Amino acid sequence: MSSRILYTKPSITELEVRYATDATANGWGDHCYDYINRFEAAFKEHLGVKYTIATSSCTGALHMGMAALGIGSGDEVIMADTNWVATTSPIVNLGAKPVFVDILEDSWCIDPEQVERAITPRTKAIVAVHLYGNLCDMDRLLAIGEKHGIPVIEDAAEAIGSVYHGKRAGSMGAFGAFSFHGTKTLTTGEGGMFVTNDPELYEHVLTLSNHGRARGQTKQFWPDMIGFKYKMSNIQAAIGCAQMERIEELTSRKREILATYRERLAGLPGISMNPEPKGTVNGAWMPTVVFAPETGITRENLQAAFASENADARVFFWPLSSLPMFDPVLKNIHAWSIPDRAINLPSYHDMNYADQVRVIAVIKELLNG
């Protein structure tokens, strides 16, 4: 049998190992925040934002940011029906209601027209998720938010390397949240980052992130409010520091892999891939193929075909409103239709050309039926 093709794995070099070893051996006592501070500073510079807070997960960053915005019981938060549940969990955990709207057929990101139609007096925020590295229409979403006085939150968990008309994904909303899970382009194993340009929001989240202990509080072990424990460890941040030194290499390689898929699949009828509209850069976290309904190709066909080639392939996110904890929103036709005929393609950094050819052959064979 041919060697297994993984759908994703991190790119770890001697540099990450060296930094993590140093943090493990020496990053204690007065040095327990050294790599965290360094990682936050490097990410802030890369993103072009004023404030960053390293967190234990993107979910934690979203949870604290939403809490700091005052989202709570009785509030509504508008988001795309196509997302991972991690974007929804903080909303529900704060006692608010997620309002699921449809996605655009080409970008698979939230439809701004549907957002505006869903706004009510209870709407407290809009969440823009840059799905698989694809970019939301931020100009329209920010204009809608400004018109109605509603903050736009960027979930950029999957969009490191994505750029929207000169601005990096995650840097445009009231706050942004990133993921450094082991599957992501940049990893700390588990981890995330809260980013913002709002000084008051930053101070509030900084306090929440440390059990409610304010930075200026002089009393030892004195919390000023009930907070969270979503802090990143120094050892994780050490890995992140090494990854930040390699960020251009990491993002460029992901874009190369997507470019190869696009080039080799170009012209095939009935398929579409991650878009890259003029003026944008797709960070290419997860190359994805969507098959037109008339091809008759289904998620199950795709899973079986890739399994027979000993290759991993991820299914497209199920619509959140299809999950048992929510009521179905069947009018979200794209969110319900696209997952039935789409697949995420393998795209780890060390993937070689021969393995990409194997993946491409699976798709071609299915189309030739």
In terms of CATH architecture, what is 247-368?
A: Alpha-Beta Complex (3.90)
240 contacts: CB under 8 Å, gap ≥ 6: 35, 39, 43, 54, 180, 186, 187, 188, 191, 232
**Strand 163-164 vs strand 280-281: parallel, antiparallel, or unpaired?**
antiparallel
Whole-angstrom distance, CA of residue 189 vs CA of residue 224: 31
In this predicted structure, what is the pLDDT of residue 369? 73
Q: Please, what are the averages of pLDDT over each run of 10 residues along the chain (369 residues)?
A: 90 98 97 98 98 98 98 98 97 98 98 98 98 98 98 98 98 98 97 98 96 92 94 97 98 98 95 97 98 96 96 96 98 98 97 96 92
The angle formed by the CA atoms of residues 79, 82 and 84, to the nearest 5 degrees, is 90
pTM here? 0.96
Which pLDDT score, from 0 to 100, does residue 21 have? 98
Q: How far is CA 87 from the centre of its chain?
A: 9
Which are the contacts of 151, defined by CB distance < 8 A and separation ≥ 6? 69, 125, 126, 145, 173, 174
- Quick one: how far is CA 231 from the chain centroid? 19
* Predicted local distance difference test score (pLDDT) of residue 20: 98
Domain with CATH 3.90.1150.10 in the chain: 247-368
332 with 318: CB under 8 angstroms? no
Residue extent(s) of CATH 3.40.640.10 domains in the chain: 14-245
SS3 call for 317: coil
Backbone angles phi, psi at 22, to 5 degrees: -65, -45
Q: Rounded to the nearest 5 degrees, what angle is found at the Cα of 362, between the Cα atoms of 356 and 368?
A: 135
Residue 133's Cβ-count burial label (10 Å; 0-12, 13-18, 19+) is: buried
CATH class assigned to 14-245: alpha beta
**Which of 222, 217, 168 is CA-nearest to residue 193?**
168
